[in-house]
Amino acid sequence: MSSPSLDALDAEMLYLDLRKAMQQLLASYASHGSAPHLVGIASGGVWLAERLQVDLKLAGKSGTLSSSMHRDDFAKRGLASSSQTQLPFDVNGAHLVVVDDVLYTGRTLRAVINELFDYGRPASIKLCVLVDRGGRQLPVQPDIAVARITLAESQSLALARAPDGGFSFEVLDNSAQTT
């Protein structure tokens, strides 16, 4: 896992590293005779999962996970995401690879795991992220994290997707927002 400076954080280069790591992960599943399903967390994770699905020539479609209904701050945030969970496969007994752009506190992951279990009981869940920014509030660790960075608590990092499908990062300053 690399530790680039914020100025050197190249989302496209990190995506290529993620794709390579995913190829190795998928090879380990192939040796067991079972192919996992990719599931992206809305929205950046969905973009990554969709692109990985195509680039790795995986059969079927990737799924989408929304954390909206299971967030522990639902009363404050409401339905912040317009994406809804869509799982074009049976979750029961399936091996799943959950993909996200940035892992921070672990609360979104907790919410999407709760969402997944509303659909059934998977055999296993692996977590792959482009960037782990630390600051965990829950005991969650990624199986694959391409880069690790540190940001001020008042900042957030978001994956952006250009019309041509290319990725970049946006650093947002949340200190002016009131809660």
- pLDDT, averaged across the chain: 89
Report pLDDT for 83.
80
Residue 157 tokens, joined:
């990092």
Nearest Cα residue to 66 out of 51, 49, 48, 79:
79
Which pLDDT score, from 0 to 100, does residue 30 have?
Answer: 84
Is the Cβ–Cβ distance between 147 and 8 less than 8 Å? no
Name the DSSP letter for residue 35.
P
pLDDT at 31: 80
- Cα–Cα distance between 125 and 111 in angstroms, integer? 14
- Whether residue 46 contacts residue 83, with contact meaning beta carbons closer than 8 Å, is answered with yes
The pLDDT of residue 132: 97
94 and 29 in contact (C-beta within 8 Å)? no
pLDDT digits (tens, 9 = 90+) for 46-83: 999 999 999 999 999 999 999 877 656 544 545 555 58
- Is the pLDDT at 177 greater than 60? The verdict is no
> How many whole angstroms separate alpha carbon 103 and alpha carbon 84?
20
| pLDDT attached to residue 178 | 44
Q: Is the per-residue pLDDT at 29 higher than 80?
A: yes
Reply yes or no on whether the pLDDT at 97 is more than 90. Answer: yes
Q: Which amino acid is at 51?
A: R
In the chain, what percentage of residues exceed pLDDT 70? Answer: 86
The full length of the chain comes to 179
Residue 159 is inside which H or E element, if any?
Answer: strand 155-161
Residues 8-22: tens digit of each pLDDT: 689 999 999 999 999
Determine the pLDDT at residue 78: 52
Cis peptide before 62 (omega within 30 of 0): no
Q: Whole-prediction pTM value?
A: 0.89
**Residue-range domains of the chain with CATH:** 6-153 (3.40.50.2020)
pLDDT at 107: 92
Rounded mean pLDDT, 141-159: 94
Task: State residue 144's pLDDT score.
Answer: 98
Lowest mean pLDDT among 29-33, 36-40, 93-97: 29-33
Q: Is 58 exposed, middle or buried (0-12, 13-18, 19+ CB in 10 A)?
A: middle
